[in-house]
Structure 1
Amino acid sequence: MSKFDRYMLSQFLTLFSFFALVLVAIFWINRAVILFDRLIGDGQTALVFLEFTVLGLPRLITTVLPIATFAGAAYVINRMTSESELTVLQATGTGPWRLARPVFAYGICVALMMSVLTHVLVPMTKAELNQREAEISQNVTARLLTEGTFLHPTSKVTFYTRLIGNDGVLRDVFLSDRRNPDEGVIYTAAEAYLVRNGNGTTLIMVDGLAQRLQVEGKQLATAKFRDFSFDISALVSNSTDESQSIDSMVTFDLLKNWDDLAAKTGQTHGDIAEEVNARFADPLFCIIAAMIGYATLIMGGFSRFGVWREIVIAFGLLIAIDGFSSTLVETVRQDASRWPVLYVPSLVGAMLVLAMIWQTAHPGWTKRLRAPKVAP
C-alpha cells in the first residue's frame, strides 16, 4: 500500500470512528431512556441497567456501522474535493479507478468489523441477554417486593406495598387486576405473604377488601375477607425458556444440520437461511456504502458550490438499496432455497458503483457516440 493510500485510509477510519461514536451515542440515549424506565420501574438496580446496556451495544453498533461508513467516505471525499487535493491528484494522472483503491480497503476494514459483530459478538450477547432476562423474570422479589412504589408486573396489573417487614410480611398491600376487559378488581389488605407453591407463586392477603367493578352496567361489588390467595404465577415467569433462538447462536453452530436445528429451535429452514446469509450480506453492504459515497461524489467533479447535491443523491441511493434488501427478507423466510436474493442489493450497488466510476473515467463517451461520423 502506497503512502497516499495509507493517508486516505487513515482519514477514512478517523472520520468513521467519529461518526460511529456520535451515532451510537444518539441511538443509545434514545434506547437507554426506555430501558432505564422499565428496569428501574421493576425494582432493578443501576448495575442491572448498565449490564443490559452493555449487552445491547453490539446489536446497536451493527445498526449504525453502514451509516457511519457512508458518512466517513462522503465527508473525506468532500473535504479533499473542496481543498483541491483530488483535483491535484487527477491533474497528475491519477484516475478514478486508482483513487477507489483506498476507499475499497476502507470498506473491507469496516466489513471485517461488522463480520466479527454479526458472526460472534451479537449472538453471544443476545444469548447472555436472554439468560439475564429469564433470571430477572424469575426473581419475584425484584418484580414485586419494592416498598413504597407502584409497580407494574404487566401492563394490566398494578401492585403496591407500603412496608416490607424483616420477617418478609408485606404491610398495607394494594393490587389492581385489569386483565379481564369485562371487569376490574382491586384488592387491599393489611398484610400479605408470598408463598412458593411448586412451580407457582401465590400471594396470600389477610384482612382485606375486594372491590369488583363490572364494566357493563357500572356495578360495583365489595367483599371483605380474612384471608385470600391470589395466584401471581401468570405475572412472573418462573421457568427459563429452554429453546434457543437462532439469533443467539454463533454462525458456526448455524451451519450444522438444519433439520436438527429447526427441531431444536422451533424455527423453519427459511428463518435459518435468512439469519445465516444476512450475517454475510451485512458486511458486504458496508463495502457498498463506502463505495457509493466515493463514486457519487467523484462523478460530480469539482464545484465552487460544493458537492451537496451529490451527497444527497448518494444518501438516497443508500436508503433505496437498504430498503430493497428489507423487502427480500420475507421471501427467503418462505423458501430457504431463495437465499441468494439477499445478496442482490449488494450486487446492484456494486453495479451502480462500477457504472459511476466508469462514467467518471470516460466523461466524453456520450458526446462521441452522438458526434456525426466524417466520411473518409
Structure 2
Amino acid sequence: MRLFQRYAFRQALMPFLTALAALTGLAILTQSLSNLNLVADRGETLLVFLWVTLLAVPQIVALLMPIAVFIACAGALNRMMSESELTVAAAAGLSRRERLSPFLRVAVYAVLINLAVNLFIQPAAYREMRQAIFEVRTDIAASVMRPGEFVAMGVDVTFYARTLGDGGVMSDVFIEDGRGSSGTAYSARQGQITRAERGPVMLLRDGVVSQIEETGTLSSLTFDSYEFDLTAFVDPTDAFFFKESDRYLPELFNPSPGDVARARGHASLLAEGHYRLSAPLYNLAFAMIALAAFLSGPPRRTGYAKGVALAGACALIVRLTGFAVQAGASSAPELNWLQYAIPLAAILGAYLVILRPMRLVTRWAGLRREQTAS
C-alpha cells in the first residue's frame, strides 16, 4: 500500500513542479516587459534588468502555487482514473483517505513552501528590489548625462561633461545655474555623482565657481572640492521607503508610527499580514477542489472534463473572493477573519462533496426503514 502511495505522490509532484515552472516563466516574461524601461530609458545594463526581474519571482511563485497544485492534482488524477489505477487501489483495500493522502501531501508541502516565501523570502527579495529600483531611478548620471553634449537639468540649469568614464567619473565638467537673482557657473577638472544624507550631489574637484555680483562685476573663486546639490532634479515620487509587500510579519502587526504614516493606514498593514498567513491555505483548498472533481462519485467512462471545468470555475471564484476580501480588509480590519474563512470553507465544502453526504443520508434513511420494518 505504501508503494502505491509513493507512486501516486510522484505522479502529482512532477506535474506540480512542471506547472509551477511553466506558469512562473510566463509570468516573468510578462513582468519583464514593465522593467524594459530600465534598459531603454535609464541606460542600465542587462544585468540590472535581469536582477530586478529575478527579485520579483518569489511573489509570483507564491501567487501561482495554488494554480500549479490544482493542475497537478487534476492531471495526475485524470491519468490514474483513466487507467483505472485508483479503482484497482480501492479494490486492493485502500481506503478513501489512503488514496487521497499522496495528493494532500503535495498540497501540504506547497502550503509550507508558500508560507516560507510569504514570511521570509518575499520581504527580503522585495527590499532588495526596492533598493535597486531606487538607485536606478535616482541615477542621474545614467539617465540624464550624455558626454560631449549640453544637457538641460530642470528649467535654469545646464550641464556639460566632456567624457564619462568608469565609476561615473566625469572630466571637464561645466554647470550653469541660472536659478536665483544672479547666475552662477561652475567649471571643474573632474566631477562625480555621489550620495549624501540629503540626497544625490555632484562632487566637483579642482574647479572655479564664477558669479555675477549685484554691482555687475564678475567674481571667481577656486576650490579643491565642492558639492553641487542635485536633489532638486530627483523626482520626489521616487523617495525610498518600504511598502507593505516589503515588510516582515512583525512589522505588519506591530508597525511604528512612521510605518503607518508611509503606508495607506494601519488597516492596510494588518490586511497584508493576515494575507501572508492565510494565502497558503489556498494550496490545500485547490487540491481538495480538484480531488472533489474526481472522487465525488463512481468512476465515469465518459471522462471528467465537465467535472474539472466546474472545479476550475469554483477555484477561480474562491480565489477572486479572497482577493476581494483582502482589498476590503485594507479599509475595514474587521473583515480580516474572512481571509482565513474563505479557504477553510472551500476545504470543508470540497471534503463534504468527496464524502457525498447525500448518499450517506440516503443510506442512513434506508437503514432506519429496515430497522422500523423489522
TM-score, normalized by the shorter chain, greater than 0.5: yes
The answer as to whether partners of 2:263 and 2:269 remain within 8 angstroms in 1 is no
Percent sequence identity is 21
Q: Give matches, 1:213-362, under 5 Å.
A: 236-237=234-235, 241=239, 243-255=241-253, 257-258=254-255, 260=257, 262-263=259-260, 265-359=262-356
Could you tell me how far apart the structure 2 residues matched to 1:80 and 1:64 are? 24
CA contact (8 A) 2:291 2:354 kept: no
Corresponding residue for residue 141 of structure 1: 141
Q: Distance in 2 between matches of 1:323 and 1:235?
A: 42
Quick check: 1:85 aligned with 2:82? Answer: no
Find the aligned partners of 1:263 and 1:364 in 2 and give their Cα distance. 52
Q: For residue 323 of structure 2, what is the amino acid of its counterpart?
A: S
- 1:122-161 pair list within 5 angstroms: 122-146=122-146
Residues 300 and 264 (structure 1 numbering): CA distance in 2 closer, same or farther, change over 3 Å? Answer: same
Q: Is the 8 A contact 1:273 1:333 kept in 2?
A: yes
Gaps of at least 5 residues in structure 2 are 165-169, 175-190, 203-228
Q: What is the Cα deviation at residue 239 of structure 1?
A: 9.6
2-side partners of 1:268 and 1:124: how far apart? 22
Distance in 1 between residues matched to 2:332 and 2:233, nearest whole Å: 37
Q: Does 1:53 align with 2:72?
A: no
Instruction: Note the C-alpha offset of 1:330.
Output: 3.1
Q: Which amino acid aligns with 1:293?
A: A
Query: In the alignment, residue 317 of structure 1 is paired with which amino acid?
Result: C
Contact 2:107 2:284 in 1 (8 A): yes
Distance in 2 (CA, whole Å) between partners of 1:199 and 1:128 is 19
TM alignment of 1:104-183, pairs within 5 A:
104-146=104-146, 165=163
With over 3 angstroms needed to count, the CA separation of the structure-2 counterparts of 1:148 and 1:342, relative to structure 1, is farther
Tell me, in whole angstroms, the C-alpha distance in 2 between the residues paired with 1:241 and 1:113: 33
Contact 2:130 2:242 in 1 (8 A): no
Which AA in structure 1 matches 2:348? M
| Residue 77 to residue 232, structure 1, CA distance change in 2 (3 Å) | same
For residues 146 and 322 of structure 1, do their structure 2 counterparts lie closer, same or farther at Cα, with a shift above 3 Å needed? farther
Q: How does 1:98-109 map to 2 (within 5 A)?
A: 98-109=98-109
Using structure 2 for the length normalisation, give the TM-score: 0.73
Structure 1's 236 and 300: CA in aligned 2 closer, same or farther, altered over 3 A? farther
Across the aligned residues of Structure 1 and Structure 2, the Cα RMSD in angstroms comes to 3.9
- Give the letter for the 1:314 counterpart: A
Helix, strand or coil at the partner of 2:314: helix
Could you say which structure has the greater relative contact order, defined with CA pairs below 8 angstroms and 6 or more residues apart?
Answer: 1
Q: 1:244 to 1:25 in 2, by over 3 A?
A: closer
Structure 1 unaligned segments of length 5 or more: list them. 172-193, 203-230
Measure the CA separation in 1 of the matches of 2:347 and 2:301: 29
SS in 2 for 1:334: coil
Q: Is the 8 A contact 1:254 1:272 kept in 2?
A: yes
Which structure: larger Rg?
2
Q: Output the CA distance in 1 between the equivalents of 2:81 and 2:283.
A: 23
Q: Using the TM superposition, give the Cα deviation of residue 113 of structure 1 relative to its aligned residue in structure 2, in angstroms.
A: 0.9
TM-score by length of 1: 0.72
Match of 1:74 in 2: 74
Question: Which residue number in structure 2 is paired with residue 187 of structure 1?
Answer: none
Q: State the Cα distance separating 1:62 from its structure 2 match.
A: 1.3
Residue 244 of structure 1, CA deviation = 3.0
Rounded to whole Å, the distance in 2 between the matches of 1:280 and 1:293 is 22
